[in-house]
Structure 1
Amino acid sequence: MWILWAVTLLWAASFSLIGEFLAGQVDGYIAVFIRMLLALALFLPLWRPSRLGLPQQLALAGIGAIQIGIMYLLLYHAFLFLSVAEVLLFTIFTPLYVTLIDDVIFQRKHLPLRWWAAAGFAVVGAAVIRFNPLSESFLTGFLLIQGANLCFAAGQVFYKRLPLGDARNQLHVFALFFIGATLTTGLAMAAFANFDLRPDTPLQWGVLMWLGLGASGIGYLAWNMAAKRVNTAQLATMNNMLIPAGLLVNFLFWGQNVDWLRLAIGAAILAGAVYLASRRPAA
C-alpha cells in the first residue's frame, strides 16, 4: 500500500510541472509521445522476451496502449471542451470503474459490499474537494473524460489480473507496456500534433525527461506492481488520493489558493474510504 502512496505523491508533483512549464507551450501529443518514448528507453535494456509467452506479451502491450495511450488521447481532447477544474472533477469516477470492471470482466460476482462503499466514498470525498460550477457545453468533454477514466481503470485491473510472475519478472517484461503506449501515442502525434509547439528550451526538456523516466517509467511500473498486492477496493480508492495531494503540492510550491475546509472534509472522507477498503485481505 505504501507504494501507491509514494506514486501518488510522485504524480502530484508531476501534474504541477506540466501545468507550470508545458501546458500551452508544448503540444500535448508531442509531450505524451516523448514521455512514452523515454520510459520505453528506460526498460528496453531490461527486456527479456523469453520470460513471457506470446499471448501474455500481446496482452501486456495492449494494456499499455489502453491504460496510457488511449487514455491520454481522450484526456487531451477533453481539454478542448472543459476547464481544468471540470477535468479534475470528472475524473473522480475512476474508483467506481475499477470496482465495476473487476466485477464484470472477471466475473467476481460477490465483490464485498464494503468495497463498493469504499469506492463510492472515494468519489464523494474527491467531489467535495474539487466540485466547481460546470460550463454550459460540457457533455462532450464529460464523455471524453469518462472514456479516459475507463481506460485507466481497465488497464489497472487487467494488469492486476494478468499472470506475470514475481516482481523481478515484471521488471524484465515491462518494456512491452510502453511499446503499446508508444505505438498508440506515436500514431496520435502523427495525426493530430501541432509540430510548431515542440519543446525547445533546456527547462522543457528537463521536465520531459523527469516525466518520462520518473513519473511515467518508474511511476507506472511501481503503481501496476503495487496493484497486484492490494485488494480491488484499496486500488480503487487510491485513484482519487491524487486530488488532495495535487492541491497540496500546488499550494506548497506554487502558492495557489486552496479551500482548506473543503480539502479537510474531502481528505477525511477519502481517508475513511482507504481505511474501509484496507479492512479486507488482499485479493
Structure 2
Amino acid sequence: MSLLLIVSILWALSFGLTAQVSGLGAPFVTAARTLLAALVFLPFLDVKGLSRGQVLAFAGIGALQFGLMYLLYIASFRWLQSSEVALFTIFTPLFVTLTADLLRGRFSWLFLLTAALAVLGTGICVWSGLGRKGILAGFLLMQGANLCFALGQVLYRRLAPASGKRDRDLMGLLYLGASAVAVAMAAPTIPWAKVAAMDSRQVAVLVYLGVVASGLGFFLFNAGARRTDIGTLAVFNNMKIPLAILASGLVFREAVDWPRLAAGGAVIACALGLNGLSGARP
C-alpha cells in the first residue's frame, strides 16, 4: 500500500505541472512522457524465458493501460473542462473492482462497496455541478479511458506473477507498447515550432512528467497493484484527486474548498478502513 501512496503523491503534483506544458499540445506531451518512461526502463528489460505470447501480452497491456488510455483521456478535453475530466476519473475504482471480479468469475460486495465509497469521497472533493449541453461525449470518452487504465492494472496483476519476472524486468515492454500508440497519435500533429522554442523550465517539466510521474509512477503503481488486494487498489485509484487538490492549495497557491476536501478525504479514509477490516490479501 505504501507504493500506491507514494505514486498518489507524485501524480498529485503532476496536475499543476502538466498545465505548464499544455501549450505544446496534448499529443506531443503524451508521446514525450511515454518515450521518456520507456527510455528509463529499457536498460532493465529482460524478456529471457518469456514466450512470444507473453511479450506481446505485456506490450498490449502497456498500449491499453497507458497508450489508449491517454488517447481517450486527451480526446475528452474537446468537450470537458479540466475540472470535469478530474471528476469523471472517479469511476475508475468501480471499473477496477468489476473487471477483477469478471476475470475471477466471482463477485465481491465488500470490494464493490469500498470502490463506491472511494468514488463518493472523491466526488465530494471535486464536484462542481454539471449541466452543460454536449457533455455526454466527453463523459463516455473518460469512461473509456478509465476502463483502459483499470483493465490494464488488473491484467498486469494477473499475468506478472506467472511470468517469473520482477516488475522492472517487464515495465520496458509496457512502455514500448504505450509509446507505439502515443507516437502514432502524435506524429501527424507535432507543433515543431513550439517544440523548438521550449525553454529550460518546460524541458525540466517534461523530464519530470516522463521520468518521474509516468516512468517511476506507473512502475510503482503496477508494482503496488501486484502486491495488494483489489479493494485497496480501487481506493488508491482515486487517492490522487484529493491529494492533487491539496497540492493545488499548498504548492501552487490555488483556491481550495478546504471543508469539502476534508469531508471527501474522510470518506476515502473510511473506504480504506473498511477494506482493512476485511483482512483481504493480494
Contact 1:164 1:170 in 2 (8 A): no
1 or 2, which has the higher helix percentage?
A: 2
Alignment-derived partner of residue 80 in structure 1: 78
AA aligned to 1:22 is V
Contact 1:91 1:145 in 2 (8 A): yes
Aligned equivalents of 1:44 and 1:274: distance in 2? Answer: 35
Q: How far did 1:108 drift?
A: 3.2
Secondary structure of residue in 2 paired with 1:48 = coil
Q: How far did 1:163 drift?
A: 3.2
Q: Calculate the TM-score normalised by the size of structure 2.
A: 0.94
Alignment-derived partner of residue 124 in structure 2: 128
Superposition pairs for residues 89-168 of structure 1, below 5 Å? 89-104=87-102, 106-111=103-108, 113-134=109-130, 135-164=132-161
Alignment-derived partner of residue 12 in structure 1: 12
Residue in structure 2 matching 1:203, options 175, 182, 201: 201
Comparing 42-51 with 81-90, which one deviates more in the overlay? 42-51
Matched, 1:259 2:257: yes
Contact 1:35 1:211 in 2 (8 A): yes
**CA pair 27-11 structure 1, distance change in 2 beyond 3 A:** same
Q: Calculate the TM-score normalised by the size of structure 1.
A: 0.94
Any stretches of 5+ residues in structure 1 without a counterpart?
none
Secondary structure of residue in 1 paired with 2:133 = coil
Secondary structure of residue in 2 paired with 1:50 = coil
Alignment-derived partner of residue 282 in structure 1: 281
Secondary structure of residue in 2 paired with 1:133 = coil
Determine what percentage of the aligned residue pairs are the same residue: 38
Secondary structure of residue in 2 paired with 1:109 = coil
Alignment-derived partner of residue 22 in structure 1: 21
Aligned equivalents of 1:211 and 1:18: distance in 2? Answer: 8
Q: How far did 1:166 drift?
A: 8.6
Any stretches of 5+ residues in structure 2 without a counterpart?
none
Aligned equivalents of 1:208 and 1:167: distance in 2? Answer: 33
CA RMSD of aligned residues (A): 1.6
Aligned equivalents of 1:164 and 1:183: distance in 2? Answer: 25
Q: How far did 1:48 drift?
A: 1.7
Superposition pairs for residues 206-217 of structure 1, below 5 Å? 206-217=204-215
Q: How far did 1:169 drift?
A: 2.4
AA aligned to 1:252 is L
